[in-house]
Amino acid sequence: MMQITIERVTINDIQKLQEIGRNTFFETFAEVNTAENMSDYLENSFSDEQLKTELNNQHSQFYFARVNGKVVAYLKINSGEAQNEKIADAIEIERIYVSKAFHGKKVAQTLYEKAIDLAYEMQAKCVWLGVWEENHRALRFYEKNGFTAFGKHSFWLGNDEQTDLLMKKELGNTHKLKTS
């Protein structure tokens, strides 16, 4: 039986965060982007300096998903000023990235449920995210979980301007927290 555990990432976990971040982004997007743009993005977005800044931001939180003790995925949420688009009374799911070997094994769903629990704890009225318009697997996942498109914004991968669909889910007044 596969056991998924979720734990908060701390500044002491920076190497593990770099590794899972770079690996999962590469697995997801390398086939459809140039090597130069991938290299640029992976170097800059997962540098020690960048991750330290993000981990020290009081409005951002990272979580690892572990299966049998091994980090296989991670979640990043933003609130307040850390959001890429400033939306009042909302939290942003900036990243849910899962190692390819664990696709379809409920790891993403477990991280998503953690994000929703956190949104309710923070008394957010909605959860939103940006997802690349060509990432059909992610689009289906978020649509299945009740998200609807409400706009678009640009995302730069190296020198390539890509379009993210902005999606949101309104939260109701009641929520049963998961115990994980």
CATH of the domain at 80: 3.40.630.30
For the segment 36-94, what is each residue's pLDDT rounded down to a tens digit?
999 999 999 999 999 999 999 999 999 999 999 999 999 999 999 999 888 899 999 99
Give residue 46's domain range: 4-124
Q: Is residue 78 part of a domain?
A: yes
Question: How do strand 70-79 and strand 90-98 relate by DSSP bridges?
Answer: antiparallel
What is the total count of domains within the chain? 1
- pTM of the model as a whole: 0.93
Q: Is residue 178 part of a domain?
A: no
Q: Is residue 116 part of a domain?
A: yes
How far is the C-alpha of 120 from the C-alpha of 109, rounded, in Å?
17
Residue of 41, 74, 97, 142 with catalytic role: 142
The question of whether 74 is a catalytic residue gets the answer no
For the segment 112-156, what is each residue's pLDDT rounded down to a tens digit?
999 999 999 999 999 999 999 999 999 999 999 999 999 999 999
Q: Is residue 180 part of a domain?
A: no
- Does residue 98 surpass a pLDDT of 50? yes
Q: What is the DSSP letter of 42?
A: H
Q: Is residue 159 part of a domain?
A: no
Q: Is residue 73 part of a domain?
A: yes
How sure is the predictor about 180, in pLDDT bands with cuts at 50, 70 and 90?
very low
How far is the C-alpha of 69 from the C-alpha of 118, rounded, in Å?
23
How far is the C-alpha of 13 from the C-alpha of 42, rounded, in Å?
18
H-run or E-run covering 128: strand 126-132
Q: Is residue 110 part of a domain?
A: yes
* Residue 179 confidence (pLDDT): 46
* Residue 172 confidence (pLDDT): 83
